[in-house]
Structure 1
């Protein structure tokens, strides 16, 4: 096992290096002074070079070949498989390209913040064009190495073993299912009396509410924290998970939705097997699995009637926030209200997949060289009009609303809806196995839920593919039927 043990040491060091970068990324989005971005970009580029050099080295290639001849335990074999996959990705890419993508991503994200605030795409368009060209170089190389299309190669960075044709078919089916359904649900809900939340809740109180619920659900504040950023995210490092949200005094519970989404991500990270920390197989499987955990908590759990009963009582008894608009029935109606909105992160779970399909279709066209960067706002607005029959009036409500493209994360968006389908499939199984789940949630008891997720998902880390975990837990590969049944049961 000599070669394998050497590999473990190398990948351990690379993981620690990535952890350092994770904290620097978190700081860049939350605390970093405005004019420090140029140096931060250089710091991150340097760290990306260190990680790349470690994993892409000739030494690692030789050690992998030798380790395959050694007698390893089953879990070690899985770890070696993941080491080889990471090495194959890294060795394919020139280090100059890796550094340049890191450097330009940091610059582009900073310009995006200004562009979003001023709702002016032109502020960031030149740097975005440079970043996309770099991502196209990366995608072309990875596509040739992994024998797939450039765009499919990018998706596989975030969700291993993804198939573009399968995703396209699933999304086409979802669009055909949801497009007529949205208007039916909106018409049905018109007859329901819903009270808006006129009570303003200050930022401090919103954060205290969020932290209380995070703690109840199982977030460990000794290994993580909640902060504020322009775009909600979950980041940080091993055993140091940083999540963020943004606050809206006029819509006081919108921040809680974001917090619960990121808490789902955080629970997954915090419950990965400690004995495999800093090893490839001990990391989260992929972003579709990750998004399934965030959307299961946010949509399946915290938008349920049982959770709204818990939330209503909590607001009344602990935070002295009450009134008819904060009744559990009204909170449930507000949380399941379907409407056509501009902003993805503020959309409901019925229209949400269409927001993802829009981005997926645009990404495919960008990497097929069918769209120029300067045309992105117009094409985005046209596609949105086709899906929702509403005109977008400003860039901040359209192509500037998400950070992903401006951080170089092309290929990430499809994992959100793949995650939603996966979440529905897991939720169907866990509700069958935990028949008293709603009663637990209503009383603020979440341990049975989180223990189920730990055993069936979190602890499996990257030992298996997402589809293999689904088959183990639900006896079925990914199937949109569970999501459709869930939507029909909740909304029709």
Structure 2
């Protein structure tokens, strides 16, 4: 009976989180500027309500009693996931939760206008408040969990992952990535590359995006596509919200952005319906979530066989032009060029952007650097990793991402972890059938494999066990390296 009480309690929390997600989506897509302060206060109140719900004094007794009840194995796992979320929520005082939500909403809203204005001075005091509160949260979490401050935040996004393991993993990637970037650039130097000629009307880009989402199996009865400054996927399984951004001079960017977010959405829509309102039925980790978006964008959509399916769609929506030939589009989508912007980065240089952010956010949280030092450190690491400078260019440097505006420290490693997991999943699928054949003939077979091995597993297994069961081995960058070498060097 106590397990039933807990399930009902956590389902109520799911409904509150659903409301919060839609409020956040509206804030990013449709809310008038004048509503920002009221929305920040409303979302802060909702965050506190969610926090209070997990501090209900009845929960301790229910957990103690439920652990004595005869439960099926899946319910035992479900109970453990509910306990993990409950324990996590008890680590922070209500006042800190409220302050973090309010400061994050204010900083994120201001960032939307401060970034285009290149206004670091205006952003700094807002960011300092977010960082200060995040450090307080990290200290409280670290003391309770027996972890370092940064690892205590990493735990929120990647349960079980530690910075020591990341240092080893990223250290391995650093040992071969610079050489690979150089080799690929040398190989591509003499390639002929045609840029599609615009303008490309936004409505036509949207129509193309919707058609590709349908090709990828997106369920439009339980989701929609909109526009925001920073593309994202939010909402809940039954009500998934995707966003992208359009550039009338560049059709390629928004299309891949939509495909990326569709990967996130398919994961959400594919979670087990009978579990999805409980913690055990939700996404395992952000690294696994990113593995789905990167599987769709990198493993599938940039594969020559998939580009051959995209080319006629581009011609149908925008008219024929030489740049839309499959061979040219494949070269465009696999062009390796170090750049300043993470979301526009190619598949090979992308890990450098993540390792840069990981080193900075770890040192910010651990107190090894201050917010005012961010632009200089960013420029130094960008020079070191990609040979590019950002002095005075805050917009394309340390102001480019939305994550730190609301205190999402510990999130960035998920992107490269996701790329590694995606490569492992693609390698496992190809042991059964070549991916090219599946893309050409039975794209649904790819989704069936993901549904069975990733989506329907939700949080029934921890991340290492999930990947080992699906791919035959735990987290390992070998498949990722082999994928990059095969695709870019032949």
TM-score (norm 2): 0.98
- Whether contact under 8 Å (1:26, 1:242) holds in the other structure is yes
> Is residue 381 of structure 1 aligned with residue 376 of structure 2?
no
> Is residue 68 of structure 1 aligned with residue 71 of structure 2?
no
Structure 2 match to 1:490: 487
- Whether contact under 8 Å (1:115, 1:122) holds in the other structure is no
- Whether contact under 8 Å (1:381, 1:391) holds in the other structure is yes
Tell me how far 1:371 sits from its aligned partner: 1.4
* Per-residue CA distance 1:183-224 (angstroms, 9 max, x = gap): 111111002111112232111111111100001110011100
Tell me how far 1:115 sits from its aligned partner: 1.2
Tell me how far 1:237 sits from its aligned partner: 2.5
Tell me how far 1:180 sits from its aligned partner: 1.9
Structure 1 match to 2:197: 198
- Whether contact under 8 Å (1:467, 1:478) holds in the other structure is yes
* Per-residue CA distance 1:325-377 (angstroms, 9 max, x = gap): 11000000000000111000100010000000000000111112121111211
Structure 1 match to 2:30: 31
Q: Equivalents in 1 of 2:55, 2:413: separation in Å?
A: 28
Q: Equivalents in 2 of 1:144, 1:464: separation in Å?
A: 26
- Whether contact under 8 Å (1:19, 1:238) holds in the other structure is no
Q: Secondary structure at the match of 1:479?
A: coil
Structure 1 match to 2:455: 458
Q: Equivalents in 2 of 1:442, 1:73: separation in Å?
A: 42
For residues 272-351 of structure 1, the aligned pairs below 5 Å read 272-316=271-315, 318-351=316-349
Tell me how far 1:238 sits from its aligned partner: 3.5
- C-alpha RMSD of matched pairs (Å): 1.1
Q: Equivalents in 2 of 1:277, 1:335: separation in Å?
A: 35
Tell me how far 1:35 sits from its aligned partner: 1.2
* Per-residue CA distance 1:374-431 (angstroms, 9 max, x = gap): 1211211111111111112511110111100002111000010011101000010112
Tell me how far 1:440 sits from its aligned partner: 4.0
Structure 2 match to 1:364: 362
Q: Equivalents in 2 of 1:186, 1:200: separation in Å?
A: 29
- Whether contact under 8 Å (2:118, 2:394) holds in the other structure is yes
Q: Which of 466, 478, 482 is matched with 1:481 structurally?
A: 478
Which consecutive unaligned segments of at least 5 residues does structure 2 have? none
Tell me how far 1:320 sits from its aligned partner: 4.8
Q: How many residue pairs end up in the alignment?
A: 488
Q: Equivalents in 2 of 1:232, 1:434: separation in Å?
A: 33
> Is residue 46 of structure 1 aligned with residue 37 of structure 2?
no
Q: Equivalents in 2 of 1:264, 1:105: separation in Å?
A: 27
Q: Secondary structure at the match of 2:164?
A: helix
Q: Equivalents in 1 of 2:5, 2:200: separation in Å?
A: 54
Q: Equivalents in 1 of 2:96, 2:418: separation in Å?
A: 30
Q: Secondary structure at the match of 2:352?
A: helix
Tell me how far 1:442 sits from its aligned partner: 3.5
For residues 76-95 of structure 1, the aligned pairs below 5 Å read 76-95=75-94
* Per-residue CA distance 1:291-350 (angstroms, 9 max, x = gap): 00000000011001001100112222x325222111000000000000111000100010
- Whether contact under 8 Å (1:340, 1:351) holds in the other structure is yes
Structure 1 match to 2:11: 12
Q: Equivalents in 2 of 1:308, 1:44: separation in Å?
A: 41
Q: Secondary structure at the match of 2:251?
A: coil
Structure 2 match to 1:439: 437
TM-score (norm 1): 0.97
> Is residue 472 of structure 1 aligned with residue 469 of structure 2?
yes
Structure 1 match to 2:269: 270
- Whether contact under 8 Å (1:112, 1:123) holds in the other structure is no
Which consecutive unaligned segments of at least 5 residues does structure 1 have? none
- Whether contact under 8 Å (2:237, 2:271) holds in the other structure is no
Q: Secondary structure at the match of 2:200?
A: coil
Structure 2 match to 1:395: 394
Tell me how far 1:466 sits from its aligned partner: 1.5
Structure 1 match to 2:146: 147
Structure 2 match to 1:354: 352
Q: Equivalents in 2 of 1:261, 1:407: separation in Å?
A: 22
